[in-house]
Amino acid sequence: MTRHVGIDLGQKGVHVAAYTDERSGTVRTMKVTHTKEGLDLFLKWATHGCEEQVQFVMEPTGLVWITIGSFLKQRGHIPCCIKPEKTADLRKFVKKHTKSDRIDAQTLSTVPRIDPKGTFPVHLPDGKVDALKRMVKRRERFGRLIEAQKKRIITLMNLAIPNVMEALGKQKFTDSGIAFMKTYCNPGKAVREGLEKFKEFWREESGSKCDPMRAEKVFQACKNAVDLYSGMSPLPFDYKEVKWEIREELNHLLYLERQSRKMGKIIKKIYLELDPYRTLESIVGIAEVIAPAFLGILGNSVERFPNANCAVSYMGCCPGKHQSGGKDPAMPMKKSGNRILKKYLYLTVATARRHDPEFAAFYARLYRRGYHHNRIMTALANKMARRVYAVLKRRDEMLKPVRGKDGSPPDGHEFTRIMYQLRSPDGKPIDKKTANTLIQTNYAREVVAPERAQRDREKRNPREETPDKKKRKRRPVKRVAV
């Protein structure tokens, strides 16, 4: 009988391990220190009196599980991970109002007997792949911080100069826009200097991309702000303090952007070492930003996934299930799965459906049936996830005989590069130019469903009704007497 040992990992203190003795049925616990002597003593304690292989179950706590998993795997045992949600639910069932490290470790040792398929063998990537994964997550986190920082700056500028961000348009965070926010966040200064001097400032900051009309719109917004606040005394805010805050927020934004670019260079270097042939970039929609994310998070080899369904489930691009009483309704995409890959898959198919005939034909077919855009994109994300898995698996099959210890191909090795071939819906290879022509001719929204495409366009870009334009007749409302 396999012995299941649960380990409640601790990032600061000691770890706590527990298992149920097969003979007496008693629960044995032990505190484990994070040293070589402590781990050796723990392994001797966990395998005492057990002739079969021991399975160790733990949660992926921080990065501590990597060290423990590597130690156990090198000594011939089976380290497994489990989703923390499952452990928490089972612990609340066993001890609803009590929580301790010992109870958590005992719960972890019980899970494999209740749900054997809920535990997964620990996948230990090599050093380069793990570094790539951390860098990808770091750059994605910088991206979210940059977006939050921009929203904060827009809020402050709308307080200082109402409607100025609308006047800036797409030049909000260009060199000219940032220079304007640092210099003229007090609109009175721009109005006192006059329009001509403001245009000269805008011309110097914009360079060859100067737009005089944009400068006039921004100056008019400053003038309107002065007129608005001239009748308020005192003002509900202090321009001096707002100016200081805007400068600090802009400096922090520039710092985050520099760090993001720095991460991009590091990621590119590691990515080219692992895959100098840029296999994933041959897929339409995947480029130098998204390809390292797939390689780092999925790993340099997809052998750990038994099939494509497991890989798609890991990426979180499969629908949920809620079958009962003979009814099996369609469900939305599951909330589980890797958040970064799920986002990148959606961005990828947004490009692929415009340049890949197979994706375009699939989108057109469902669009004609009346499916919502987001639902079609979710289905395309599932297809893209399977395509990524197939390309990486084909690459693994060719690289397997020559792959080095770190998972990367050896220096000087040459072989036929694995590339995804664009094909028409009937399976014939085509080039990019022919693919774009085919999509515009046969699979564009205006071609497959012109009436719906017109309605969607009007929703996105509402226009003012002209006298010549006929108003749509509203359906009469049936009124019921009460």
Pair (400, 302) in one structural domain: yes
Domain boundary among 124, 142, 173: 124
Same domain, 288 and 213: no
Same domain, 159 and 303: no
d(CA 71, CA 85) in angstroms, rounded, equals 25
* 120 & 138 share domain: no
Residues 118 and 189 in one domain: no
Per-residue pLDDT of the chain (482 residues; tens, 9 = 90+): 788 899 999 888 899 999 988 777 778 899 999 899 999 999 999 988 887 778 899 998 888 888 899 999 888 888 999 888 888 888 888 888 888 999 999 999 988 888 888 888 888 878 899 999 999 999 999 999 999 999 999 999 999 999 999 999 888 898 889 999 999 989 999 999 999 999 899 888 887 777 888 889 999 999 999 999 888 888 888 989 999 999 999 999 999 999 999 999 999 999 999 888 888 999 999 999 999 999 999 987 788 888 999 899 889 888 877 788 878 787 777 778 889 999 999 999 999 999 999 999 999 999 999 999 999 999 999 999 999 999 999 888 877 655 555 555 555 555 557 788 889 888 899 999 999 999 999 999 999 999 998 998 888 877 544 444 444 544 454 444 43
Instruction: Indicate which CATH number applies to the domain containing 29.
Output: 3.30.420
What pTM value is reported for the model? 0.82
Do both 291 and 426 map to the same domain? yes
Residue 317 lies in a domain: yes
Label residue 160 exposed, middle or buried (CB < 10 Å: 0-12, 13-18, 19+). Answer: buried
**In which domain, by residue range, is 216 found?**
131-263
Whether 470 is in a domain gets the answer: no
On whether residue 472 sits in a domain, the answer given is no
455: number of Cβ within 10 Å: 11
Strand partners, 79: 56
Tell me: do 319 and 406 sit in the same domain. yes
Query: Within this chain, do residues 98 and 216 fall inside the same structural domain, yes or no?
Result: no
Nearest to 223 by CA among 265, 166, 183, 163: 163
Residue 112 has a pLDDT of 87
* In-domain check, residue 474: no
The Cα 360–Cα 422 span in angstroms is 12
Q: Are residues 290 and 412 in the same domain?
A: yes
Q: Are residues 165 and 200 in the same domain?
A: yes
User: What's the total number of domains in the chain?
Assistant: 3
Q: How far apart are CA 299 and CA 277, in angstroms?
A: 16
Q: Is residue 80 part of a domain?
A: yes
482 is a domain residue: no
Whether 216 and 287 map to the same domain: the answer is no
Phi, psi angle pair for 476, to nearest 5°: -65, 140
Does 88 share its domain with 139? no
